Structure 1
Amino acid sequence: MFKQVVPVNQQRHAGKKIKQVEGFGFASQFHIAYVTTHEFVRSAAIYPLVFIEDKEKDEFRPVALLGLDAGENLFVGADQKWAASYIPAIIRRYPFALSQAGEDGRFLVCVDEGSELFNDTEGSALFDDKGEPTEVVENVKRYLSELQQMDAITGEFCKFLAAHNLFVPLNMRVRQNDKFKNISGCYVINEERLNNLSDELFLELRAKHYLPAIYAQLTSLSQIERLVMLKDEKQQPLAA
């Protein structure tokens, strides 16, 4: 998705503009999208939610499955419109992102200079004639700051699940046209282990407000069938 991410800078980006997002072609080849726990309930009604393991950082991250194969986003149509009522926040924030400035907890607002939305002539300016950040930049700062807080909470959620051995590899077989496809390489919450937690641990889950996210993830797996249907619909014109 991101090609050339650099910190937003008045000297470097004076006169630069950002066009309003009118299509999601930039996300058409992404089959997963990171989601925070705050997004689980809304996302679970549309996307299967799973966890992927980052072995280098020794952590798990939740993602929404957007396709059954790498390089495929079944929710972006030929018209580049998003074919669902909820769009993950990581997609909506494009072409902006946060980058950690150091070990003191500071973050910098960054922009993807390789994005088609970033240009010299169309859209809203990043800086005004006096070199001050415009409302566009200030709104992005607030939005990304909120996402960063959600990201921190999501990280603690995943650490808790991992510490109590609540992750299990997903192995699911679905029928696609006249063939079967195995879905693997990711993790889900183990419902059996969840149900066998001690009363003390279960109450801790409730106190941390983790239960809605946990049950949303478990129920979201039924949306894999939605992906199969979308895949079949896209392949039918090709077969014809």
Structure 2
Amino acid sequence: MSELLFYQRPTVLNKEVHKSIRFSPVADFRFTNKVNSVPLLAIEFFEASRDLSVLFSQDQQGQYFPIALLSLKNQGHEQVDEAGVWLGNYTPAFIRRYPFVLSTDKNVCFDADYSGLQETEGEGELLFTEEGAYTDTLSKIIEFVTNFEAEHVRTREFCQAATEQDVFKPFVLQIITADKKPLRLDGLFVIDEKKLMALDDSVVTHWFRQGYLAWAYAHLHSLGALQRLSEKLDTRT
């Protein structure tokens, strides 16, 4: 999973250096404009599947990870309007945690280029008290990025289990755009429902208890959202 997809200047949060910094929540989501998908946590499949298609991709090591497909274009999407307002019914946690992220050594980092982090008096909420303790704002941020990391681990475990059972298959999207040009998205994968149905009973029981079975079917259910993305693309002038 590309942890730093949107982060231009990741910086470790330090209570001495950043004791006066104030945080204003993200209101402008145009920082996502150049991507057509973002990584997704497995626990998000249920809510995301009502609005977005959940597919799988592979990282540089060949490991599978889930993504929320935001658009059928090769680059960019239409989930954000010109004012930066998110138009979709569901915003992936990968986007919601910006500008913060938990580093591999468990330090809280932030994008120093994010305009909503500054030392202007009266704008935003302080992250540290005068004594250097966490404010409620920072405590909630830390809770969010920590939970994100924990669910990221569970998601990796789910993908590893699916890989071991060989249930992934390639999925190529080919459509004709409104201007009659062919568009092809490859490098995508889905769970093969036939292979899912053929799993041994012991595996099915384990997957059910781990929540993997529900996640697999939430993913398959989400493929219906491809039609909405297709309609949105085809109506562009």
Q: Same fold per TM (> 0.5)?
A: yes
Aligned equivalent of 2:228: 226
Aligned equivalent of 2:206: 204
Number of residue pairs aligned between Structure 1 and Structure 2: 229
- Displacement of 1:33 in angstroms is 1.2
1:16 pairs with 2:21: yes
CA contact (8 A) 1:29 1:70 kept: no
Q: Distance in 2 between matches of 1:12 and 1:192?
A: 55
Q: Distance in 2 between matches of 1:123 and 1:95?
A: 14
Aligned equivalent of 2:3: none
Q: Distance in 1 between matches of 2:132 and 2:104?
A: 24
Deviations 1:144-187 (A, max 9, x none): 11111111111100000001111111123233223442231111
CA contact (8 A) 2:74 2:185 kept: no
In structure 1, stretches of 5+ residues that fail to align are 102-106
Deviates more, 1:155-164 or 1:72-81: 72-81
- Structure 2 counterparts to residues 80-99 of structure 1, below 5 A: 80-99=84-103
Deviates more, 1:36-45 or 1:61-70: 61-70
- Displacement of 1:191 in angstroms is 1.2
- Displacement of 1:79 in angstroms is 2.0
Aligned equivalent of 1:38: 43
Q: What is the TM-score with the length of structure 1 in the denominator? A: 0.89
Q: What is the TM-score with the length of structure 2 in the denominator? A: 0.90
Q: Distance in 2 between matches of 1:180 and 1:31?
A: 17
Q: Find runs of 4+ consecutive structure 1 residues off by over 4 angstroms.
A: none
Deviates more, 1:81-90 or 1:195-204: 195-204
Amino acid at match of 2:160: K
Q: Distance in 2 between matches of 1:92 and 1:186?
A: 24
Aligned equivalent of 2:58: 53
Deviates more, 1:149-158 or 1:223-232: 223-232
Aligned equivalent of 1:116: 115
- Displacement of 1:133 in angstroms is 2.2
